[in-house]
Chains A and B, each alone.
Chain A
Amino acid sequence: MTTMTIAKAINSGLRRSLESDEKSLLIGEDIGRLGGVYRITDGLLADFGTRRVIDSPLAESGIIGTCIGMALRGYRPVAEIQFDGFVFPGFNQITTQLAKMRARSEGRLTVPVVIRIPYGGGIGSVEHHSESPEALFAHTAGLRIITPSNAQDAYWMIQQAIECEDPVIVFEPKRRYWLKGEVDTERPALDAFKAQVVREGHHATIVAYGPLVPVALAAADAAEEDGYSVEVVDLRSISPIDFDTVVASVEKTGRLIVAHEAPTFGGIGGEIASRVSERAFLSLEAPVLRVGGFHMPYPVAKVEEDYLPDIDKLLEALDRLFTY
């Protein structure tokens, strides 16, 4: 076991994949000499060279499109998108090509492309640097979407993504890059596409993922002081969603809040609420509540604290849950 930040864990995971599979390679803007704007690829160019760690031209459609081509040629490209808000020039390639190539070829072609996207707010940046566009991708069949919330998962999930035969988008919670945690580099702890109960409880469940997992845990601690025992599920995989774990928790606690930074309208929370009402209706003591962003463009930095789901907003939702 070693302690490392999420940033370092991803870096180490990438390094291990580059070492173990000579077909794997990294491509993106500024990932080489600079090591990426978040330094996630720091040091990898020096050790693996310019064929494995490619500073690309500034063109997201080009990055994703050429990754598809390289994958068709037998490589396992890992693209870095610099910030959430800048993935959209590549959206066409991701949703119309990458996601559908296997189905269109009737299973003859696989395109094991990984796309890493730092996402989410709370870093006080200017516009387009703080968005949570995961639902836009989750709605597209053919993609897998995962998001680690801790260093152990970050280390393993990136490697599992690279090994996966399907296209995988890894949404990295950028405001947690410097969060430290224990990493066991010997054995993958968990299936990348499974959820995990990260705190046991019996009065209510909070399902969260990525940057909001620590917030959910802190809210559960605060609720404990008021006598409520709150279970927290780290979703980990946004597509597919491990509904079995979620439903099992709801069957135990009878109450559910889904929390994410993305706007609630049309978001992942709605999907979970709907499935849970289908599968565990009789276990529910209260309607499923969602805590998330408002239906507005991500606001300016000075007010993002009011926008982002925080402990208070989760506690307020818990209060509402317990009025039923």
Chain B
Amino acid sequence: MATTSQASPASDGLMTPDAAAADGPLIQLLDERGELHADERFSAYVADVDADELRSIYRDMALTRRFDVEATALQRQGQLALWVPCRGQEAAQIGSGRATRPGDYIFPTYREHGVAWTRQVDFAEMLRIFRGVSNGGWDPRENNFHMYTMVLAAQVPHATGYAMGINHDQSDWDTERRAAEGDAVVAYFGDGSSSEGDVHESMVFAASFDAPIVFFCQNNQWAISVPFEVQSKVPLASRAAGYGFEGLRVDGNDVLACLAVTRYALEHARRGDGPVFIEAVTYRMSAHTTADDPTKYRASEEELSWEPKDPLLRLEAYLRSSGAGDDAFFEQVAADADEMAAGVRAKAFTFPDPVLADSFKNVYAEAHPLIREESEWFRQYEAGFADNHPGGAR
């Protein structure tokens, strides 16, 4: 089994990720040793992926990982309030993200740095939120990549509604035109979030209205300290049947399988055939956030057991064995990644500190008397300190 975890038996009688969670058939194209397998249904969806593209996929994954390392370091140095690592989830993110088209709209949670990268969001921009200078960070309309959402699952109904809007817009299109030009939506969320009512309600709506949406759940086995079994006794993908649409369970550490399955699901959705649920079975290789301490709740043997399943290692093995990537290539990627990281670091230090006065500007779209009154009060209050602090701000 490609992704069975080697959880140690629980001595305290608590549940740990066991076979029920991580076992069962997974769609897989590239196995842990980096060997390619044909899949009757899904190989066709990546038949066009040549050596060049594979190298580019690897590069995306390596850059994402390097970015993650850099951001973690920045947090440790006190430059970010918090960081949410995505180590281990690069295949699920790059594979699914690369399956989208520019017109598709993505609703992420807060860990989707790799997906963001595939949508041309600049890595440095992703740090604004965590540096405490912005609550949004990037322009969501620029790359059709929505802002991160901190309240778990709250973005999933938005994604569904957006997809319902697409349906309205394209209601007089025939299937062919939809397939060729139609838009779709991908909603990302975690295994923990799958327990929230918002996810359930979204799936009901999406099914009822044949919304062109792909629900992409990265089952990384843990919701902070709570193992998957507390959220579900069955593979999440199997829940989709209860809503009346297809659920697919994919090896989330296999970038090709993630790409293929998401391409399939998007094609299905945009054609007008309704939603698809993808459960990408993966593993969060580092802490939940930089504020977390995984030693309190999971065994290091479990973490170690996932190391050989690292999504980058297996793609590297394949690139090497197929002759598509040699030492020179990997050295170049590493050098590029270092350069990118240095650039991200430098840019993070250039973000201007925001001023509170500006926060009044965006609360309402139209002038609002209370805002006017409070901002005027604050202006005068600040001015009272001007003598001691020439810059105005204290």
Q: Determine the distance from Cα of A61 to Cα of B196 in the docked complex, in whole angstroms.
A: 8
Q: Determine the distance from Cα of A33 to Cα of B299 in the docked complex, in whole angstroms.
A: 12
Query: Which chain B residues border A306 with CB–CB below 8 Å?
Result: 355-356, 378, 382, 393-394
Whether A62 and B296, one on each chain, are in contact in the complex, defined by CB atoms closer than 8 angstroms, is: no
**Which B residue sits closest to A316, measured CB to CB?**
B381
Q: Determine the distance from Cα of A58 to Cα of B195 in the docked complex, in whole angstroms.
A: 6
Question: Would A59 and B196 be within 8 Å (CB), given that A33-B14, A295-B371 are in contact?
Answer: yes
Q: Determine the distance from Cα of A34 to Cα of B30 in the docked complex, in whole angstroms.
A: 35
Out of B135, B226, B355, B378, which one reaches A58, CB within 8 Å? B226
Out of B81, B353, B356, which one reaches A125, CB within 8 Å? B81
Whether A61 and B197, one on each chain, are in contact in the complex, defined by CB atoms closer than 8 angstroms, is: yes
Question: Would A57 and B150 be within 8 Å (CB), given that A33-B14, A89-B197, A301-B81 are in contact?
Answer: no
Among B97-105, B116-124, B125-133, B169-177, the one that faces the other chain is B125-133
CB of A240 closer than 8 Å to a CB of B:
no
Q: Determine the distance from Cα of A301 to Cα of B80 in the docked complex, in whole angstroms.
A: 10
Q: Determine the distance from Cα of A88 to Cα of B223 in the docked complex, in whole angstroms.
A: 19
Q: Determine the distance from Cα of A127 to Cα of B134 in the docked complex, in whole angstroms.
A: 9
Interface members, chain A 287-317 (any B CB < 8 Å): 294-297, 299-303, 305-307, 312-313, 316
Whether B151 and A297, one on each chain, are in contact in the complex, defined by CB atoms closer than 8 angstroms, is: no
Interface members, chain A 24-64 (any B CB < 8 Å): 29-30, 32-35, 37, 46, 50, 55-62
CB of B43 closer than 8 Å to a CB of A:
no
Query: Which chain B residues border A33 with CB–CB below 8 Å?
Result: 14, 225, 296-297
Q: Shortest beta-carbon distance, A236 to chain B, in Å? A: 28
Whether B151 and A86, one on each chain, are in contact in the complex, defined by CB atoms closer than 8 angstroms, is: yes
Query: Which chain A residues border B12 with CB–CB below 8 Å?
Result: 46
Interface members, chain B 268-313 (any A CB < 8 Å): 291, 293, 296-297
Interface members, chain B 351-394 (any A CB < 8 Å): 353-356, 359-360, 363, 370-371, 374-375, 378, 381-382, 384-385, 393-394
Give the number of chain A interface residues (Cβ < 8 Å): 43
Out of A59, A85, A124, A313, which one reaches B195, CB within 8 Å? A59
Query: Which chain B residues border A299 with CB–CB below 8 Å?
Result: 135, 354, 356, 359
Query: Which chain A residues border B356 with CB–CB below 8 Å?
Result: 299, 303, 306-307
Interface members, chain A 101-149 (any B CB < 8 Å): 124-129
Whether B374 and A29, one on each chain, are in contact in the complex, defined by CB atoms closer than 8 angstroms, is: no
Interface members, chain B 236-282 (any A CB < 8 Å): none
Whether B133 and A295, one on each chain, are in contact in the complex, defined by CB atoms closer than 8 angstroms, is: no
Whether A32 and B225, one on each chain, are in contact in the complex, defined by CB atoms closer than 8 angstroms, is: yes
- Please, what's the 1-or-0 string for B51-83, where 1 marks a CB less than 8 Å from any CB in chain A? 000000000000000000000000000000110
- Please, what's the 1-or-0 string for B217-247, where 1 marks a CB less than 8 Å from any CB in chain A? 0000001111000110000000000000000
Whether B151 and A55, one on each chain, are in contact in the complex, defined by CB atoms closer than 8 angstroms, is: no
Whether B197 and A58, one on each chain, are in contact in the complex, defined by CB atoms closer than 8 angstroms, is: no
Whether A37 and B151, one on each chain, are in contact in the complex, defined by CB atoms closer than 8 angstroms, is: no
CB of B193 closer than 8 Å to a CB of A:
yes
Overall SS of chain B's interface? loop
Query: Which chain A residues border B150 with CB–CB below 8 Å?
Result: 85, 126-129
Query: Which chain B residues border A265 with CB–CB below 8 Å?
Result: 370
Q: Determine the distance from Cα of A313 to Cα of B151 in the docked complex, in whole angstroms.
A: 31
- Please, what's the 1-or-0 string for B180-211, where 1 marks a CB less than 8 Å from any CB in chain A? 00000000000011011110000000000000
Q: Determine the distance from Cα of A55 to Cα of B195 in the docked complex, in whole angstroms.
A: 13
Overall SS of chain A's interface? loop
Q: Determine the distance from Cα of A128 to Cα of B129 in the docked complex, in whole angstroms.
A: 12
Q: Determine the distance from Cα of A88 to Cα of B152 in the docked complex, in whole angstroms.
A: 11
Q: Determine the distance from Cα of A195 to Cα of B246 in the docked complex, in whole angstroms.
A: 58
Whether B135 and A127, one on each chain, are in contact in the complex, defined by CB atoms closer than 8 angstroms, is: yes
CB of B323 closer than 8 Å to a CB of A:
no
Q: Shortest beta-carbon distance, B253 to chain A, in Å? A: 23
Query: Which chain B residues border A312 with CB–CB below 8 Å?
Result: 385, 394
Whether A126 and B82, one on each chain, are in contact in the complex, defined by CB atoms closer than 8 angstroms, is: yes
Question: Would A313 and B381 be within 8 Å (CB), given that A32-B14, A302-B354 are in contact?
Answer: yes
Whether B151 and A85, one on each chain, are in contact in the complex, defined by CB atoms closer than 8 angstroms, is: yes
Q: Determine the distance from Cα of A305 to Cα of B52 in the docked complex, in whole angstroms.
A: 50
Whether A57 and B231, one on each chain, are in contact in the complex, defined by CB atoms closer than 8 angstroms, is: yes
Whether B197 and A86, one on each chain, are in contact in the complex, defined by CB atoms closer than 8 angstroms, is: no
**Which B residue sits closest to A295, measured CB to CB?**
B370
Query: Which chain B residues border A57 with CB–CB below 8 Å?
Result: 192, 195, 226, 230-231
Query: Which chain B residues border A295 with CB–CB below 8 Å?
Result: 363, 370-371, 374
Query: Which chain B residues border A56 with CB–CB below 8 Å?
Result: 226, 230
18 residue pairs A–B, Cβ–Cβ below 8 Å: A32-B225, A34-B224, A50-B13, A59-B197, A61-B197, A85-B151, A86-B151, A89-B196, A128-B151, A129-B150, A295-B363, A296-B359, A296-B363, A300-B132, A300-B135, A303-B355, A303-B356, A306-B378
Which positions in B face A, CB cutoff 8 Å? 12-14, 81-82, 129-135, 150-154, 192-193, 195-198, 223-226, 230-231, 291, 293, 296-297, 353-356, 359-360, 363, 370-371, 374-375, 378, 381-382, 384-385, 393-394
